[in-house]
Amino acid sequence: MPELPEVETMRRGITPVIGARIADVKRIRSRHRPLVISPAARSFRRRAIGTTIAGVDRIGKRVVLQLDNHEAIVFEPRMTGLVLLTDPPDRDHLRLTIDLTDARPRQLFYWDRRGLGHIDLLSAAELAQRFAPDRIGPDALDVTARQLANRLASSRREIKVALLDQRSVAGIGNLYASEILHLARIHPAIGCSALTGDQWRALHRAMRRVLNAAIRHEGSTLRDGTYRNALNVAGGYQNHHRVYDRANLPCPVCHRRVVRIVQAQRSTFFCPRCQGPRQTESASPVRRRESGNIAPTR
DNA sequence: CCCCAGTCCTGCGGGC
DNA sequence: TGCCCGCAGGACTGGG
C-alpha cells in the first residue's frame, strides 16, 4: 500500500532515469487482466517514444515522469504497484516496461501484483486539471499547521477519516494515519471540529515526524512483502510501527494493549490510554499558554 | 456538502 | 489436507 513515504522512496530511487530517452513502451501480457493505461496503448506509445525524461516528481501518492515535450507519465500504484529500475519481484505481475537510451538505466519497470494501479500519459493541461486544488490537497510534507486546521476544523468528520481524504491533505493512507495520530496522542474517532489548536499543532508535527522517519527507512514492507524500493529492496519502517497492525500487542509508550476499530470500512489502530478518552486529555502534558493558538478562519 | 457502500484485483490466512 | 470465504485498502462512482 504505497503511501507518501513509499512513493517518495520510489521517486528518489528512479531519479537516474532523468536525461534518458524513451525508446519503447511495452505493456506486458499475462494471464491477468491487462493494466489500465490511458490513452490506449497505441497512442500512449506514439506520444511517449522519442521523448526525454526531464524530471521525476511526486504528487501525493503518484510518481510523475515529466517529459521534455511537456507531457507527463503518471504512475498511480494504489495497493500493490511498484516502479523499479531493476528486475521486479516476479515476472508474472510485471505490467509495463519502458526501454531507455542515452542513460545508465536501460529499463524502467512497472510491477503490480493486484493490478489496481493506473498509468496515464497526460498533457500539461490534463495534468493541471487532474491535480487541481479542488481535487487534491496540499502535500502532507508541505502543508502548514495553520492550513491543516483551516481546511479541516469546520468538518464534523472523524479525524482519521478526514486524514485519508486526499482533498484534505495529500499522501496519507491507512497505515500512516494510525501512526501519526498515535504520535500526536489524538483519538482517531474525535471529530475534526473538536480538536484544539494545540492538537492541530501536535498533529502537524507528528505528521512530519512520522512521514520523514518512514522516508529515512525507505517505507514500510508489511508481512505480505509486497512493497520494495526501486532496486527491489524491502523498506525498514515496519520495524518502527507504533500501532499499525499491532492489535492486542503492547503500546510502545504505555504498554497497554493496542485496539483495532473500523472506521469508514478500514482498520484503525490506536492506544486507548495514550489517545483517549475522547474529548478530554490535552495533546501535551504541559499546560498551554494563550500564545500562538491556531484559530481557524471563518 | 457529507457520507456510505460498492467496484476493481490477487494472495493469503482463518475456519471448518 | 484442502477448500471456501473474507479480508487487505487507494481512488473513484453513484445514491441517499
Q: How does the average pLDDT of chain A come out, rounded?
A: 88
What is the Cα–Cα distance from A123 to A224, expressed in whole angstroms?
36
Each residue's pLDDT tens digit, A27-45: 988 888 888 899 988 999 9
pLDDT the model gives residue A277: 66
Q: Considering only CA atoms, which residue is closest to the C1' of nucleotide B6?
A: A265
Q: Is A3 a catalytic residue?
A: yes
> Are A19 and A51 in the same domain?
yes
Each residue's pLDDT tens digit, A169-198: 999 999 999 999 999 999 999 999 999 999
As to burial, measured by CB atoms within 10 angstroms (0-12 exposed, 13-18 middle, 19+ buried), residue A90 is exposed
What is the CATH classification number for the domain harbouring A161?
1.10.8.50
> Are A157 and A274 in the same domain?
yes
Reported confidence tier of residue A108, pLDDT bands at 50, 70, 90: very high
- Is the Cβ–Cβ distance between A3 and A173 less than 8 Å? yes
> Are A120 and A170 in the same domain?
no
What nucleotide is nearest A79 when CA is compared to C1'? C10
Residue type, A280: T
Q: Which of A11, A61, A201, A246 is catalytic?
A: A61
Q: Which of A266, A273, A278, A288 is catalytic?
A: A266
Q: Could you tell me if residue A23 is inside a domain?
A: yes
pLDDT the model gives residue A254: 95
Question: Residue A206, SS3?
Answer: helix
Average pLDDT over residues A136-149: 93
β-bridge pairing A94-101 and A81-84: unpaired
Give, in Å, how far the C1' of C14 lies from the CA of A64. Answer: 29
Question: Residue A265, SS3?
Answer: coil
As to burial, measured by CB atoms within 10 angstroms (0-12 exposed, 13-18 middle, 19+ buried), residue A144 is exposed
> Are A218 and A243 in the same domain?
yes
Residue type, A82: L
Residue A281 has pLDDT above 60, yes or no: no
What is the CATH classification number for the domain harbouring A110?
3.20.190.10
Please state, for a pLDDT cut of 90, what percent of chain A lies above it: 65
Q: Is A266 a catalytic residue?
A: yes
Q: Is the peptide bond before A277 cis (omega within 30 degrees of 0)?
A: yes
Show the domain range for A13: 4-130
Each residue's pLDDT tens digit, A227-252: 888 988 889 899 999 999 898 889 99
> Are A161 and A262 in the same domain?
yes
What nucleotide is nearest A178 when CA is compared to C1'? C9
Q: Could you tell me if residue A137 is inside a domain?
A: no
> Are A153 and A285 in the same domain?
yes
A1 touches strand C (CB under 7 A): yes
Angle at A100 between CA A96 and CA A105, to 5 degrees: 95
Task: Name the residue with cell 492538537.
Answer: A199
Q: Could you tell me if residue A51 is inside a domain?
A: yes
Provide the number of structural domains found in chain A. Answer: 2
